[in-house]
Structure 1
Amino acid sequence: MALIQLQNEQDWNLVKEQKNRIMIMKNSTTCPVSHEAFKQYQKFASENENETIYYLNVQDARPLSNLLAEQTGVKHESPQVLIFEGDTVVWHDSHWNITNKKLAEANQKTKA
């Protein structure tokens, strides 16, 4: 499983330089809904070991979380998953909609 935690803007900039397509989850470490969504995200990552998948913990990386919302225009929510193609968000969803099945569908749809 290639699940990597991002901590700050420098981490984000490095990821953007190396990848054209990026999946990232905004996770809250204190929210039960986030906890369940993160388990689904981890399951998705374990089933897609050939892909590098990212996350940030909002409490630890608030400036990065805010930066993503500002740069994309996608209102911050947590839990929230965003898929980027370059600098453009091509898919996003939040809360109970973050399931392994929906992540797999979004992953396939945005690869096409």
Structure 2
Amino acid sequence: MGIHVVFGALADPTRLAIVERLLSSGDLTAGEIAAPFDISKPAISRHLKVLEEAGVVERRVERQFRVFRARREGFAQMEDWLEKSREFWNDSFDRLEKIFAEKGRPDAEDD
């Protein structure tokens, strides 16, 4: 599964809010997840399905309840991508600072 699937799943504000709730509250039933949202339970179920397919949440059944939790493993690709992006930008800014420092030297050539 590609990184675009995870970012795509989290791009929707409702799905992002669901994941944030799961991260802060731990395991929640589908009903507990749906409670603060002003959308239908079938719509919440569709959002949960997208998050499951992206691998960022998982479901288990306890008696008659569907219980969901955030999957740390589901965020691994995103973490890797963010780390590579951070390294790229840090290296780019370091090169830019070096260029500015060299241009500021009295013996540097003018363009």
Same fold (TM over 0.5): no
Which of the pair is proportionally richer in strand? 1
Q: TM-score range by the shorter chain?
A: under 0.3
Which is greater in Rg? 2
The alignment's TM-score, normalised by the length of structure 1, stands at: 0.24
The alignment's TM-score, normalised by the length of structure 2, stands at: 0.24
Which of the pair is proportionally richer in helix? 2
More relative contact order, 1 or 2 (CA 8 Å, 6+ apart): 1
